[in-house]
Amino acid sequence: MGGGERARTGRAVVPVSLREIETERVARLPIGIGELDRVLGGGLVPGSLVLLGGSPGIGKSTLTTMALGRLAAAGIRTLYVSAEESAAQVRLRAERLTGGDPLSIPVVAETGLAEVVATLEVQRPDVCVIDSVQTISAEELGGAPGTVGQVREVAAAVRRVAKARSIAVVLVGHVTKEGSLAGPRVLEHIVDCVLQFEGERERTYRTLRALKNRFGSTDELGVFEMAASGLVEVPDASARFVEGATLSPGSVVLAAVEGTRPLLVEVQALVSPSELVPPRRVVNGLDRNRLALVLAVLARHARVPVGGADVFVNVVGGVRVDEPGADLAVALAVASAARGVPLSGERPGRPAVCFGEIGLTGELRPVGHAERRTAEAARFGLGRPIAPAAGAGEPGPKTLAEALSAAFAERARSAPARAA
Ligand code: TYD
Ligand code: MG
């Protein structure tokens, strides 16, 4: 308190209502790949830093090369800094790609940070890709490339030149299978936008989403398919997954929402007697812990015991759905697989569709965007989803047990001749 008397008297600042504040309009460079532009929020912002994370082999180099190829064809100045592959390897990839003009992309194969920064100063491209942030190193720092200190230094130095010269930079970063963006996670606060590229390497589908976006929403989802000539956009992924759904025991369609985009995906389960203790729990595209929870609730509250069986659950196509709304799909798929009875939807010959979270006491809980999910199911001719009642007095199952009887009763109704 005593020091207060000697404190400097400040100048009063006049507040301005938010309405009168000018917002700066961000200029954008649309890339021309719709699924990518949408996730970015309309294109790349000059002077901004985008981190593109994903596991090795997922297609980061392919996507960034395609992006630069499109931009180059539109007369935008590009630069590809390859710190992982030789220029010849980059060329071989570019030769496979269709769309844009990938062979006109200027490339440097360089791993020294000082060299990269100096090159950016001289070349002054509009858009630059650095592949990858973990293989560039700042010599003066010492230590192996890819360490936390190194990637931070690389990102900070690149950011300085990007801002000063108005270069949009895409930093490619490797994420391990376990999802620890070993290097890149520590960069999240340095970059303007973090994109995550996901999927199973040996499957064809890839999803792209923004985990952080200073210039757009984090609600968009881009879907691609890896083909022999690069990544192909899949603007209507729901249609593909629904048409591919099997209608066999163990299969159900999940009306998922990724961000705010509805997406119908097929969830499949296989339950088979096990000789292992503990039995196998294999899950692809969903959270392992949610599977454990759903199996426990199935056993305890719905009399579907699978304790002695191997359980495999898979989201078809290699898509990841990390949302609580997937619980009911897992439960229905597993129950259908365990009973060997297919679920069938409201519409004969069409797959059953569902969504909903499952609570520990066996209750069904509503999840976000119920109308969007329902509308997407209707759009693809699946009828009404099996989903938690929207509120007290509303129609729909309130518990997992009720959802199961609804799912199997539906079948009995649509195939009465076969009922015993
Ligand atoms: P890549 O972009 O090199 O992955 P990342 O940079 O994320 O490590 O490509 C991943 C895989 O995709 C690679 O195994 C080969 C395959 N691929 C195709 O199937 N079609 C193509 O047109 C290209 C360029 C790659
Ligand atoms: Mg690569």
Residues 194 and 54 in one domain: yes
Q: Residue 419 pLDDT more than 80?
A: no
Percent of the chain at pLDDT exceeding 70: 94
Domain that holds residue 113: 26-235
- Give residue 247's identity as a one-letter amino acid code: L
Residue closest by Cα to atom 11 of ligand 1: 57
Of the three residues 215, 235, 255, the one that is the final residue of a domain is 235
Report the nearest atom of ligand 1 relative to the CA of 96: 22
Q: Which ligand is nearest to the CA of 231?
A: 1
Same structural domain for residues 44 and 162? Answer: yes
Atom 21 of ligand 1: nearest residue by CA position: 230
The model's pLDDT over 184-243, given as tens digits with 9 standing for 90+, comes to: 668 889 999 999 998 877 778 899 999 899 998 887 889 999 999 999 999 888 998 999
Q: What is the DSSP string of 33-63?
A: -HHHHHHHTSSBPTT-EEEEEE-TTSSHHHH
Task: Kindly state whether residues 272 and 302 are assigned to the same domain.
Answer: yes
> Which atom from ligand 1 is nearest to the alpha carbon of 230?
22
21 part of a folded domain: no
Q: Which of 62, 103, 177, when mutated, tests ligand 1's pocket best, judged by the most ligand atoms within 8 Å of its CB?
A: 62
**Non-local CB neighbours of 322 within 8 Å, separated by 6+ positions:** 286, 287
* Structural domains in the chain (count): 2
> Is residue 286 domain-resident?
yes
Regarding predicted confidence, which is higher, 174 or 251? 251
Atom of ligand 1 nearest to the CA of 58: 7
Q: What is the pLDDT of residues 131-187, one digit of tens each?
A: 999 999 998 888 888 888 899 999 999 999 999 999 999 999 988 655 555 556 688
Residues with CB under 6 Å of ligand 1 are 54, 56-62, 93, 96-97, 226, 228-230
How far is residue 363 from each of residues 15, 16, 186, 356, 358, measured CA to CA in Å? 50, 49, 39, 10, 6
- The answer for residues whose C-beta is within 8 angstroms of residue 312's C-beta and 6 or more apart is 269, 270, 271, 280, 282, 283
3-state secondary structure at position 323: coil
Amino acid at 72: A
Task: Name the closest-CA residue to atom 1, ligand 1.
Answer: 59
Query: Is residue 13 situated within a structural domain?
Result: no
How far apart are the C-alpha atoms of 115 and 420, rounded to whole Å?
A: 77
Residues 35 and 91 in one domain: yes
Within this chain, do residues 47 and 163 fall inside the same structural domain, yes or no? yes
Q: 276 pLDDT exceeds 70?
A: yes
Q: Can you give the pLDDT at residue 48? A: 96
Tell me, what CATH number does 282's domain have? Answer: 3.30.230.10
Among 204, 235, 266, the domain boundary falls at 235
- 37 CA distance to ligand 2 centroid (A)? 20
Same domain, 106 and 144: yes
Q: Are residues 226 and 299 in the same domain?
A: no
The CA 58 to ligand 1 mean position distance, Å, reads: 7
Residue 8 lies in a domain: no
Three-state DSSP class for 184?
Answer: helix
Confidence of residue 5 (pLDDT cuts 50, 70, 90): low
Ligand closest to CA 59:
1
Give a yes or no: residue 294 inside a domain. yes
- How many A from CA of 82 to the centre of ligand 2? 9
Q: Which of 235, 257, 272 is the last residue of a domain?
A: 235
CATH number, residue 124: 3.40.50.300
* Residue at 7 is within a domain: no
273 and 293 fall within a common domain = yes
In a domain, 166, yes or no: yes
In terms of domains, do 343 and 400 share one? yes
Atom of ligand 1 nearest to the CA of 93: 24
Do 192 and 279 fall within a single domain? no
Structure tokens at 68: 């630069």
CA 132 to CA 271: how far, in whole Å?
A: 41
Ligand 1 midpoint to CA 226 (Å): 8
The answer to whether residue 17 sits within a structural domain is no
The 10 Å Cβ neighbour count of residue 232 is: 16
- What whole-number distance in Å separates Cα of residue 110 and Cα of residue 128? 13
Check whether residue 207 and residue 275 sit in a common domain.
Answer: no
Do residues 30 and 89 share a domain?
yes
> Is 109 in contact with 86 (CB distance < 8 Å)?
yes
Burial 106-117 (b: 16+ CB within 10 A, else e): ebbebeebeebb
- Relative to beta strand 281-284, strand 309-315 is parallel
Asked if 28 and 42 count as a contact pair (C-beta separation under 8 A), the reply is yes
Question: Could you identify the atom of ligand 1 that is nearest to the CA of residue 131?
Answer: 6
- The pLDDT value given to residue 139: 87
In the prediction, which pLDDT does 176 show?
A: 66
Predicted model pTM:
0.82
